[in-house]
Amino acid sequence: MPTDAHVPPPMPPRSRVSDGVAAHIQQEIRRRRLQPGDRICAERDLQAATGVSRAGVRESLRMLEHEGLIRTKTGPGGGILVGEPAAAPLGRTVEAFRHLSGTGPETLLDAWFELTVTCTRLAAERAQAHDLVELRRIADAYRALDFGSASFDSVARLNLGFIRRTAGAAHNPILSLFLDALIDLIYSAAAARPPNLAQRRELVGVHDGIVQALENGDADAAVRRMTRHLFAVRTLLSGGSQGTATDPV
């Protein structure tokens, strides 16, 4: 067993699996005693150290992996590792909830719209120089696209990357996590209705206008421009008439 691998203590005789191995590892992560990338000992060592059956250990690990708290890496330096912060598990939970509750895709668009607007306002107040440089880089990359031949994937990734980076400039990791999860779900809907050539070109001015407002620290202008942009995209994805993404003054 690697000497740097975390080993949980023996479990109380009557503890359930969910209250044993999984609960201990969850607690260590919450207390920051286990950090992303830290190695947890192998299944057999977990079994020996805790007294939990092999099936119980595997059940615990499956639960933790489903929650995104751990990941399994194969090859040299592999094993059971503490996971990195990721939006995918949250996105799966949101999508499952949406289907089980019977709510339509417009609920995703509502949440995406409001979170993006909130992040944009915060970005105008908190953006650092490196955030603005990266946003300008994305805007320039979008302008350089050959819109007649560019794939939908390349267009969508730059557009969604711009929104992700705007959220990052708000410097609130919880908001960024939620927005990342929603963007991943929105992308699937967007792929079904790729924008036409005129809509692709319109977004060049939108990106430039948002970056300029953020550079000026003008939260109202940044929010106004982002709102107009999102409204056009939302209208399109909802199956309504094609809105305009023209950048307002």
**Contact call for residues 242 and 197 (beta carbons, < 8 A):** no
Contacts of residue 242, Cβ cutoff 8 Å, sequence gap at least 6? 196, 199, 232, 235, 236
Backbone Cα Rg of the chain: 22
Pick the more confident residue, 115 or 46: 115
Q: What is the pTM of this model?
A: 0.68
Give the H or E element holding residue 92.
helix 88-101
Q: What is the per-residue pLDDT across 120-138, written as a single tens digit (0 to 9) for each?
A: 999 999 999 999 999 999 9
pLDDT score of 246: 45
Structure tokens at 98: 């949406």
Q: If you average pLDDT over residues 21-36, what whole number do you get?
A: 84
Percentage of the chain beyond pLDDT 90 is 27
Burial group, residue 60, by CB count within 10 angstroms (0-12, 13-18, 19+): buried
> Which of 228, 237, 239, 238 is closest to 205 using CA atoms?
228
Q: Is the pLDDT of residue 11 over 60?
A: no
Between CA 82 and CA 152 the distance in angstroms is 35
pLDDT score of 95: 83
Q: Is the pLDDT of residue 170 over 70?
A: yes
Angle at which helix 197-215 crosses helix 129-143, to 10 degrees, equals: 160
Percentage of the chain beyond pLDDT 70 is 79
Highest mean pLDDT: which range of 13-17, 84-88, 132-136: 132-136
Q: If you average pLDDT over residues 27-53, what whole number do you get?
A: 85
Q: Is the pLDDT of residue 244 over 50?
A: no
Q: What is the per-residue pLDDT across 191-220, written as a single tens digit (0 to 9) for each?
A: 555 556 666 666 677 889 999 999 999 999
Q: What is the per-residue pLDDT across 131-161, written as a single tens digit (0 to 9) for each?
A: 999 999 999 998 888 877 777 777 778 888 8
Between CA 189 and CA 202 the distance in angstroms is 20
| Total residues belonging to the chain | 249
pLDDT score of 137: 95
Domains in the chain and their CATH numbers? 17-82 (1.10.10.10), 88-237 (1.20.120.530)
Query: Which residues is 121 bridged to in the sheet?
Result: none
User: pLDDT averaged over the chain?
Assistant: 80
Between CA 169 and CA 121 the distance in angstroms is 10
Q: If you average pLDDT over residues 100-110, what whole number do you get?
A: 84
pLDDT score of 68: 76
Place of tokens 């359930």: 16
Place of tokens 């792929």: 191
Question: What is the pLDDT confidence band of residue 113, given thresholds at 50, 70 and 90?
Answer: very high
Pick the more confident residue, 166 or 22: 166
Q: Is the pLDDT of residue 118 over 80?
A: yes
> Which of 155, 165, 166 is closest to 196 using CA atoms?
155
Pick the more confident residue, 216 or 25: 216
pLDDT score of 211: 96
Alpha-carbon dihedral sign for residues 218, 223, 224, 225: positive
The 3-class secondary structure across 159-209, one letter per residue, is HHHHHHHHHHCCCCHHHHHHHHHHHHHHHHHHHHCCCCHHHHHHHHHHHHH
> Which of 153, 176, 188, 22 is closest to 87 using CA atoms?
176
